[in-house]
Amino acid sequence: MDNIEISDDDLKNHLIKLYLEEKFNKKTDEDSKKIVEKQMEKLRQITPMLFFQFLAERGVSGKCVSCGSEKLSVPQAFSLEGIKAPAIENGKINDDLLRSPPYVQYVSFDDVDQPRGILNSYYQMNCLNCGHLTLYRASVVLKWFARQESKEAEGNE
């Protein structure tokens, strides 16, 4: 086995390089996490009512493109809000305080913990008659929503 001699300067430079790479990777991970969290907040702003308003304004038919049925559905979700104690009303637990308002459930075909995955999300609509599934790019819906908010803000000034 050959002995390889490494100078003190080479070792020092190598250790500095490793340290800086680790700091950079940690910063990148933190930035990625912030991007993902911000995008998830935006995605969760789209309620079923807003989604149907978007579809109507775009001229999307209220019928399934596959079978013609008008029985269309949009999957909904909600998130749990912190650690609030549920209210007890008339002897029943009111867990509405724990849940966020319902939003249109989004899907992604990439890793949703990474910016690329969450930024390429879709909202879905499905036919309750034949099961046909239609996907709408979330980015298009979110751009529309941002314009709606902008118009609303201008109207309030």
**What pLDDT, on a 0 to 100 scale, did the predictor assign at position 44?**
92
H helical segments located in the chain: 8-43, 48-57, 115-119, 138-155
Q: Does residue 93 or residue 58 have the better pLDDT?
A: 58
Q: Which of 113, 118, 119 is nearest to 29 (CA)?
A: 113
**If you average pLDDT over every residue of the chain, what do you get?**
85
Q: Which two tokens stand for residue 12?
A: 């020092």
Q: pLDDT for 73-131, tens place per residue? A: 999 987 766 555 556 666 666 555 556 688 999 999 988 788 888 889 999 999 999 99
**What pLDDT, on a 0 to 100 scale, did the predictor assign at position 21?**
82
The residue type found at 155 is G
* For the chain, percent of residues with pLDDT exceeding 90: 45
Domain ranges of the chain: 8-155
H helical segments located in 44-136: 48-57, 115-119
* For the chain, percent of residues with pLDDT exceeding 70: 84
Q: Does residue 131 or residue 33 have the better pLDDT?
A: 131
Q: Which of 105, 140, 103 is nearest to 120 (CA)?
A: 140
**What pLDDT, on a 0 to 100 scale, did the predictor assign at position 101?**
80
